[in-house]
Amino acid sequence: GLALFSNGGDAEHFGLEVQLKYRPIDKVDVEVMYTWLDARFSGGDIIEEYHDNLLPGVAPHRAGLSIGWNPGDHLLSADVEYVGEYYADSENSVLNDSYMLLNARWLFQGLEFDNWRLQPFVSVYNILDTRYNTSVAINNNFGRYFEPGSGRSVQAGLSLQF
pLDDT for the residue 6: 65
Q: Can you say whether residue 134 is alpha, beta or left, with left for phi > 0 and alpha for psi between -120 and 50 degrees?
A: alpha
Beta-carbon count within 10 A of 20 CB: 9
Those residues whose C-beta lies under 8 Å from the C-beta of residue 32, and which sit 6 or more positions away, are 18, 19, 20, 22, 63, 64, 65, 66
Query: For 31-84, what is each residue's pLDDT tens digit?
Result: 999 999 999 998 777 677 888 999 999 999 999 999 999 999 999 999 999 999
pTM: 0.86
pLDDT for the residue 2: 59
pLDDT for the residue 142: 84
Report whether pLDDT(1) > 60: no
Q: Calculate what percentage of the chain has a pLDDT beyond 70.
A: 94
pLDDT for the residue 5: 62
Query: For 99-139, what is each residue's pLDDT tens digit?
Result: 999 999 999 988 888 889 899 999 999 999 999 999 999 98
Type of residue found at 54: L
